[in-house]
Every structure is written in C-alpha cells, then in structure tokens.
C-alpha cells in the first residue's frame, strides 16, 4: 500500500528532512598499499584474473566447462572460475605463469566454441573488459624464396590482422 503526502507520518518525515544539506567531503578515499598481510595476520594471496566468453549461442555450464579447461590448462597453482554475468566468465589464477600460459598458448575452445579472453587490468571490472579479438595461428604454404624472413612475415600478419609473433622453429624452412 502506497503512502500519500496526507499521511501524517510521511508529512512529518518530509518536514523533518527537508533542510538536510550534504556537504562535499574535503578528502577522497584513497586505498593504502598494505604490508602484505591482511587484518588478522594472514598473508594476502596474489592472484591474476582473466575474463572470457565463448563464441556460441549455446548455454555454457560453468561447472563442466571449468573442469574441462582446468584439465587442459593444468595450472600448477590452480584456477577458479566464476560467471560474472551471463556468458562471461572470470578465471582466477594463483600463479602468473599459469595465467601467461593460458593467454599466450591459445586459442582455446570448449565444446567446439572459441574462448575469447583477456587479462583483467588492475582497477578494471571484469564486465568492462572488451572481448572482441582472438589471436590465431596462421600457417602459410608455398611462399616464394625470400618471403620467409621475420620482416616479411610480420608484414603478412599485419595484412591479415594484427601481427603478434611468428614461430621461429621454421626460420630455415624452404
């Protein structure tokens, strides 16, 4: 049941709070870097976040997907997955090398759907990370002699999209 201004309780509250003025604070909240311990004496555990989504219209079940990816990635210090919004997942790694391996050795997929993922920068919410590119390996066959130098391969990569790196295992390939 909605109250009307004629209600004596509402009228009394309205009159009582009508003259409240909020003053601006002279100082702003600034977080202070700690000494590496939480209140209570425990160590603060460092972690690295990667946010991702799958290129699919199908429902991705968090429990099954996180088990499959953990078995594929095999992180030394573990990984925790949560769904931060429908279809967007946050993967929290407890060692930087685990996160770097996932970011650098992709692309990854689950249930035949490509995972688009990026590291979550400090101070950025996972839902605000733009997920619009995937690094893909491109293999080129039949290049003319002289077209396999790193400089030419970089130009070809930039022609196709944005060059990231080339596989130096094939530096002397014909």
Claim to verify: residue 173 and residue 148 sit in the same structural domain: yes
Whether 59 and 104 share a structural domain: yes
Predicted confidence at residue 127, as pLDDT, reads 94
Within this chain, do residues 115 and 174 fall inside the same structural domain, yes or no? no
Q: How many CA atoms lie within 13 A of 137 on its CB side?
A: 8
Domain holding 169, by residue range, is 137-174
Q: How many domains does the chain have?
A: 2
* Strand 108-110 with 79-85, pairing: unpaired
pLDDT of residue 38: 54
Asked whether residue 122 falls in the same domain as residue 146, the answer is no
Q: Could you say which residues of the chain have pLDDT below 70?
A: 1-8, 10, 13, 17-18, 20-44, 170-174
57, 121: one domain: yes
pLDDT of residue 1: 47
pLDDT at 172: 57
CATH at residue 75: 3.30.70.330
Has residue 39 been placed in a domain? Answer: no
Q: Residue 3 has what pLDDT?
A: 45
């Amino acid at each position: 049941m909605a109250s009307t201004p004629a209600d004596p309780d509402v009228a009394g509250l309205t009159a009582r709070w009508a003259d409240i003025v909020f003053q601006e604070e002279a100082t702003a909240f600034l977080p202070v870097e700690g000494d590496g311990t939480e209140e209570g004496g425990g160590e603060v555990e460092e972690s690295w976040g990667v946010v991702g989504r799958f290129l699919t219209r199908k429902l991705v079940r968090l429990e099954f997907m996180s088990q499959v990816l953990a078995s594929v990635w095999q992180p030394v210090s573990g990984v925790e997955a949560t769904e931060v919004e429908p279809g967007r997942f946050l993967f929290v790694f407890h060692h930087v090398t685990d996160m770097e391996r996932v970011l650098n050795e992709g692309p990854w997929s689950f249930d035949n759907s490509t995972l688009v993922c990026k590291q979550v920068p400090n101070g950025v919410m996972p839902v605000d990370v733009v997920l619009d590119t995937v690094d893909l390996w491109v293999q080129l066959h039949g290049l003319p002699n002289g077209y396999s130098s790193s400089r030419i391969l970089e130009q070809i990569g930039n022609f196709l999209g944005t060059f990231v790196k080339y596989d130096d295992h094939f530096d002397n390939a014909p």
